[in-house]
Amino acid sequence: MLDIEIGLYWELKEDMTATDRQAFMQYLIERARASDSPIDGDADFMMLAQLWIDGEIDIAEVRERYGQVRERRLEERRTARFAAVLPPSGEALSSADDLLDEIGRMSHSAGY
């Protein structure tokens, strides 16, 4: 939703000043907060927003870079979940069967 709003607004006002961009970003931050999706606590987003406000990058680059940030975070969460099922010794599992055996061992020891 944020991408759509930024994109539509940017297409309508390509000659925005830094003050215009700051006001618009503040509007987006307040709107996100009101919808229980605060973005002002996201340091990566705020850094990109400031670069846009300062005119150092365009809105397409904000979208691209923030998309990369979100992908990186998703991959980190996936990696963390997978790491939780690795053997405590940190040894690599050599096959899917080893992974299934380890999951079974962990489930059995947890009483499942």
Q: What is the pLDDT of residue 12?
A: 45
Decide: 6 and 63 in contact? Cβ < 8 Å. Answer: yes
The domain locations on the chain are 2-109
Q: What is the pLDDT along the chain (112 residues), one digit of tens a residue?
A: 455 455 555 454 678 899 999 998 999 899 999 999 889 999 999 999 999 999 999 888 999 999 999 999 999 888 888 777 665 665 665 666 666 777 777 776 655 5
Decide: 80 and 89 in contact? Cβ < 8 Å. Answer: no
Decide: 46 and 40 in contact? Cβ < 8 Å. Answer: yes
Q: What is the pLDDT of residue 4?
A: 46
